[in-house]
Structure 1
Amino acid sequence: MSATHEEARTVNTTQNGRGALDGAVVAVAGAGGPAGRATLARLAEAGATVVGADADPERLAEAVDNARYARGGAAVTGETVDLLDLDATRAWADRTEKEFGRVDGLVHLVGGWRGAKTFPDAPLADWDHLHNLLIRTVQHTSLAFHDALQRAGRGRYVLISAAGAAKPTAGNASYAAAKAAAEAWTLALADSFRKAGGEGEPPAAATILVVKALVHDAMRAERPNAKFAGFTDVTELAEAIAGVWDRPAEEVNGTRLWLTPTP
């Protein structure tokens, strides 16, 4: 059953009053974009040690600096990683666990979009491009971090998906198909966590957060008259991401949390 946006934002604390992310170690793939900037800052605010990765070193450095500035003394680092290289992604996961002792989460924010005016106009080259961005990076990060997330005891794998995966449109065939495939892969990861838990609670959880599209301040400035109906602000997305750790693994594992109305 889908959770509402407000349910996704419910905040609980541990018995000693510390938030669920206080002291956690969370890796963020695709950390250099607007959603990455907001997520790094929100996780740092919650007390997490955040390790960002992006293919663009300049964007990544800006995002890391922004998160550090937003929360003085925040433990936020960045590393340029080619997530299309499985060995490089595994090495990133191994370094992160070795340096910080564990990995409590992997947030997948690698995105991209290509579309066409009509279905017959859709170039299959768009599929090749989106397959790498939206599917291959999910495969590599999930395979690389799977064991570390299980060892952490409260590990979370968080995928950001789009409502279009559930209701594809003619001009978005490649994008919707790629998002649907990424969701299926993530749900298979969730099943692996479920089986590892046996009859008890899974040792980690894989969750999908679904948006129609994302919006941020720069987009609003560029299009001041646009309404962006149904879009999710990147700060709201970051809040929902942080909220995944506030709920038991068995409650969020293998679920889609909708931040936009279900189509």
Structure 2
Amino acid sequence: MNGNGNGNGNGALEGAVIAVAGAAGPAGRATLLRLAAAGATVVGADYDPERLAEAVDAARYMHGGATVTGDIVDLLDLNATREWADKTEKEFGRIDGLVHLVGGWRGSASFPETNLADWDLLERLLIRTVQHTSLAFHDGLLRSDRGRYILVSAAGATKPTAGNAAYGAAKAAAEAWTLALGDAFRKAGGEEGPKAAAAILVIKALVHDAMRAERPNAKFAGFTDAKDLADAVAGLWEKPAQEVNGQRLWLTPKP
């Protein structure tokens, strides 16, 4: 659905209802702001009540009149995630997107020094939460005329480094799961093609204003600014579902 255009060049998001998982982090904050500016109703979820409230308040303040809400959700609990999806669709009458920004990183100095406890943590943060949000929002996104499931991934899933075995493997698994969701959307669309889309935005790493302030001399080469990531997220509603479904879209040079 290529909307009618507005001051933010994203009429496709006017009136849309978008859920954002991991809304309290830097990427989440930028995404809440960007989606609210485009006229979407935005429902953020996180586990940290204080940081989530700050993120929601900031988006509301920047865009007076925008509907931005926050829910404390344990995305490691499938039933709780389903309840969040159902509640959101019931309250606002539709659900047009799930932006998955739940992150986490652990690494080691070398491959043999890998701590498998890091895998246990990353499997929960980077894979299990993707499984739960995709299963919970699948039906609602299919009911939408512009459903989007968006995963933010990392270049390390394509070219993992020795000290990032657990992280790279977890990201790769999350990507495979998301592509399987895209195949489900493709099959549901039949001969007319998918109405909903599952897509992956690939970055090297994220940078934001606070990081630059802490390290003013750092180059952050190849990093993606949180605001640019939010723009890329919003842009996926500007393109037809057939163009973005099942795609890995690179925001950094391929390794």
Pick one of 11, 14, 27 that aligns with 2:4.
14
Pick one of 102, 109, 119 that aligns with 1:117.
109
Q: Residue 69 of structure 2 aligns to a residue in which SS?
A: strand
TM-score by length of 2: 0.97
Mapped contact 2:10–2:235 kept (Cα < 8 A): no
- 1:1-263 → structure 2 map (5 Å cutoff): 13-14=3-4, 19-263=11-255
C-alpha distance in 2 between matches for 1:143 and 1:102 = 16
TM-score by length of 1: 0.94
Mapped contact 2:3–2:14 kept (Cα < 8 A): no
Identity of aligned residues (%): 78
Mapped contact 2:13–2:38 kept (Cα < 8 A): yes
C-alpha distance in 2 between matches for 1:259 and 1:14 = 26
Q: State the shift of 1:145 in Å.
A: 0.2
Mapped contact 2:59–2:68 kept (Cα < 8 A): yes
- Structure 1 unaligned residues grouped into runs of 5+: 1-11
The aligned amino acid for 2:99 is V
Q: State the shift of 1:203 in Å.
A: 2.1
C-alpha distance in 2 between matches for 1:238 and 1:58 = 22
Q: Residue 203 of structure 1 aligns to a residue in which SS?
A: coil
Q: State the shift of 1:160 in Å.
A: 0.1
How many pairs does the alignment contain?
Answer: 253
The aligned amino acid for 2:231 is E
The aligned amino acid for 2:196 is A
Distance 1:258 1:15, change over 3 A: closer
C-alpha distance in 2 between matches for 1:14 and 1:144 = 30
Cα-to-partner distance string for 1:90-139 (whole Å, 9 max, x where unaligned)? 00000000000110000000000000000000100000000000000000
Q: Residue 222 of structure 2 aligns to a residue in which SS?
A: coil
Q: Residue 79 of structure 2 aligns to a residue in which SS?
A: helix
- Structure 2 unaligned residues grouped into runs of 5+: none
Mapped contact 2:3–2:13 kept (Cα < 8 A): no
C-alpha distance in 1 between matches for 2:10 and 2:25 = 29
C-alpha distance in 2 between matches for 1:119 and 1:108 = 28
Distance 1:76 1:250, change over 3 A: same
The aligned amino acid for 2:44 is G
Q: Which runs of 4+ in 1 moved over 6 A?
A: 15-18
Q: State the shift of 1:15 in Å.
A: 8.1
Q: State the shift of 1:70 in Å.
A: 1.1
Query: What is aligned with 1:8?
Result: none
C-alpha distance in 2 between matches for 1:144 and 1:51 = 15
C-alpha distance in 2 between matches for 1:18 and 1:95 = 26
The aligned amino acid for 1:206 is A
Distance 1:15 1:218, change over 3 A: closer
Q: State the shift of 1:199 in Å.
A: 1.1
